[in-house]
C-alpha cells in the first residue's frame, strides 16, 4: 500500500516508552497534530463514486476479484500511524506515516506511475498480477487516462496522499521532525540529570 513515511530514531521511541512515558505520550500527540491535516486533505481529493468510470463502480451482481471503487471506503482507508513500523526491504523503519489501507484507493493513488501493464489478453495462462488480461489491448492506458494526472512530491507521485503531501509543502514533516528532536533533547536532558523512571 502506498504511504508517506517520516524516519527517525526508532530506538528513541522504545526508550521513551520504557523510561519516559510522558514524553512518548507528548510526542505521539504532536505527531498526530502534524499528520492529521495531510490525512484530511488527502481524503478531500477522493472523487465521489459517481464521478469514477462506470466499469469500476461497485455492482451487486459482480464477484470480480479486482477491487471496486467506493469513495467512502477509500476515505476511511486513508489514515496515519505514529507507532514504529517494521523494517522495510531496505531495513528502514519509520516513526510516523500516512497510509492508504484500501486496495482500490491504492490503485487510484498510484496507477500509471510506470505506465500501463503489458497486455497478454484474457486467454493467457499464468497468475501474474503484473500483466493486463483485459479483452482490449488499450484498456490499461484508458483506465489510467480516466484517473487524471499524478502529482509529484518529495516522497513520490500520486493522486491522494502524495498530492496532499505536495500541497502541504513540508509543514507536516517539519513539525514531526521538530517534535522528535524536542523529545530527544528532553530525554537526554533527563538522562544526564538521572531523573528517568525505573525500567518496567
Q: What is the pTM (predicted TM-score) of this model?
A: 0.84
Same domain, 81 and 9: yes
Residues 70 and 35 in one domain: yes
CB distance 108 to 75 below 8 Å = no
Residue 198, pLDDT > 70, answer no
Contacts of 179 (CB under 8 A, 6+ apart): 27, 30, 31, 34
DSSP 60: T
pLDDT tens, position by position, 119-169: 888 888 777 878 888 888 888 899 999 999 999 998 999 999 999 999 999
Domain presence at residue 13? yes
Domain membership of residue 58 (yes or no) is: yes
Quick check: is 200 in a domain?
no
Average pLDDT over residues 184-197: 79
Query: Is residue 199 a part of any domain in this protein?
Result: no
Q: Work out the percent of the chain whose per-residue pLDDT is above 90.
A: 53
3-state secondary structure of 122: coil
- The pLDDT confidence band at residue 199, using thresholds 50, 70 and 90, is very low
Q: Is residue 138 part of a domain?
A: yes
Q: Which cell numbers in the block locate residue 138?
A: 488499450
Lowest mean pLDDT among 36-40, 83-87, 156-160: 83-87
Asked whether residue 135 falls in the same domain as residue 58, the answer is: no
The predicted structure's pLDDT at residue 95: 85
Number of domains in the chain: 2
Same structural domain, 79 and 143: no
| Whether 46 and 120 share a structural domain | no
Residues 187 and 124 in one domain: no
Residues 96 and 162 grouped into a single domain: yes
Task: Answer whether residue 200 shows pLDDT above 50.
Answer: no
Asked if the structure places residue 109 within a domain, the reply is: yes
Structural domain containing residue 78: 3-113+150-193
Same domain, yes or no, for 107 and 128? Answer: no
Q: Is residue 198 part of a domain?
A: no
Residues 47 and 133 grouped into a single domain? no
Specify whether 94 is located in the same domain as 36.
yes
Q: What percent of the chain has pLDDT over 70?
A: 90
Amino acid at each position: 500500500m502506498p504511504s508517506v513515511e517520516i524516519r527517525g530514531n526508532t530506538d528513541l521511541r522504545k526508550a521513551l516508552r520504557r523510561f519516559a512515558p510522558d514524553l512518548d505520550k507528548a510526542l505521539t500527540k504532536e505527531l498526530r497534530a502534524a499528520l492529521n491535516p495531510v490525512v484530511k486533505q488527502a481524503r478531500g481529493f477522493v472523487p465521489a463514486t459517481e464521478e469514477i468510470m462506470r466499469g469500476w463502480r461497485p455492482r451487486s451482481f459482480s464477484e470480480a476479484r479486482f477491487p471496486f471503487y467506493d469513495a467512502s471506503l477509500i476515505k476511511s482507508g486513508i489514515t496515519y500511524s505514529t507507532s514504529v513500523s517494521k523494517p522495510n526491504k531496505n531495513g528502514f523503519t519509520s516513526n510516523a506515516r500516512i497510509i492508504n489501507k484500501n486496495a482500490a484507493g491504492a490503485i487510484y493513488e498510484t496507477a500509471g506511475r510506470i505506465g500501463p501493464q503489458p497486455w497478454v489478453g484474457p486467454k493467457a495462462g499464468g497468475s501474474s498480477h503484473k500483466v493486463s488480461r483485459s479483452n482490449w489491448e488499450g484498456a490499461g492506458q484508458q483506465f489510467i487516462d480516466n484517473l487524471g494526472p499524478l502529482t509529484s512530491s518529495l516522497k513520490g507521485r500520486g493522486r491522494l496522499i502524495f498530492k496532499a503531501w505536495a500541497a502541504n509543502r513540508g509543514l507536516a514533516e517539519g513539525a514531526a521532525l521538530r517534535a522528535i528532536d524536542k523529545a530527544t533533547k528532553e530525554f537526554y536532558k533527563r538522562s544526564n540529570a538521572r531523573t528517568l523512571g525505573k525500567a518496567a
